[in-house]
A and B are shown apart, each in its own frame.
Chain A
Amino acid sequence: NAGVTQTPKFRVLKTGQSMTLLCAQDMNHEYMYWYRQDPGMGLRLIHYSVGEGTTAKGEVPDGYNVSRLKKQNFLLGLESAAPSQTSVYFCASSSHRPVRTRHSNQPQHFGDGTRLSIL
């Protein structure tokens, strides 16, 4: 069971270049998330999706775009990379619990990250 798979694992870009980070999950989860992790700042939510065809902004969305064309895939795009976007990017997914049984947050399943450096 692969869980959440992120590609690529490492990438170096020059300022102004564009790229797309890929995330795939095989757990049939409704919800997917993109985070960035920076030293001393913890994980910060960039964008998220509650289902196929829907996306929403998180805490730090500027400079990023996302798409969820298929339920199992969530793509993160950088149209014009900037040095401030140097970070480790994590994708996560979680299931959706029916409202009547909700009493806590669903666990998030994370990928192993993409280390992105922008020169």
Chain B
Amino acid sequence: TQLLEQSPQFLSIQEGENLTVYCNSSSVFSSLQWYRQEPGEGPVLLVTVVTGGEVKKLKRLTFQFGDARKDSSLHITAAQPGDTGLYLCAGADGDRYNNNDMRFGAGTRLTVKP
């Protein structure tokens, strides 16, 4: 069972700053997803990456999948208070892309102060 480590665990920044959070593992992933979870709600999918070295952009959010498919990063440019939340990564090994094989990290709790 792969273990996903997310860092930092907590991050508090001012509006307008840039930040990067990380998701690391010793396992190779066939697929990796990033979710954002707001207080009192369930996680919401932001992006899925599947190819080593892949970069995806979602407005001010940039997601990168490591070349070896063992790690991923999320970079936010000019953070806004609306970016506040718990950011979770989830990875699956194997080649069947079954969600029951997905394992979640503990998350990075981001607070963006106005």
Instruction: Check A102 against B42 for contact (C-beta < 8 Å).
Output: no
Known: A103-B97, A104-B48, A105-B97. A110 touches B43 (CB 8 A): yes
Cβ of A102: which chain B residues have Cβ within 8 Å of it? Answer: 96-97
The reply on A4 being an interface residue by CB < 8 A is yes
Q: What is the total number of residues of chain A having a CB less than 8 Å from a CB of chain B?
A: 28
Which of A58, A92, A108 has the most B CB atoms < 10 Å from its CB?
A108
The interface-forming segment of A14-22, A35-43, A77-85 is A35-43
Report how far A40 CA is from B99 CA in the complex, Å: 21
In the complex, which of the residues B9, B40, B99 contacts A108, with contact meaning CB atoms closer than 8 Å?
A: B99
- Assess A31 versus B99: contact at CB under 8 Å? Given A42-B106, A59-B1, A105-B33: yes
CB–CB A112/B41 < 8 A: yes
**Cβ-defined contact, B104 with A43, below 8 A:** yes
Question: Which residues of chain B are within 8 angstroms of A43 by Cβ–Cβ distance?
Answer: 43, 88, 90, 104
A92→B42 CA distance, assembly (Å): 9
Chain A: which residue is nearest B33 at the CB level? A105
Residues of chain A within 8 A of B105, CB atoms compared: 42
A53 within 8 A of B: no
- On whether the beta carbons of A94 and B99 are closer than 8 Å, the reply is yes
In the complex, what's the smallest C-beta–C-beta distance from A39 to chain B, in angstroms?
8
Task: Identify B106's interface contact among A4, A40, A90, A92, CB under 8 A.
Answer: A40
Using A44-B104, A105-B48, A112-B42 as known contacts, list a sample of 5 further A-B pairs with CB atoms less than 8 Å apart, ordered by residue number in A: A33-B100, A41-B106, A42-B88, A42-B103, A48-B99
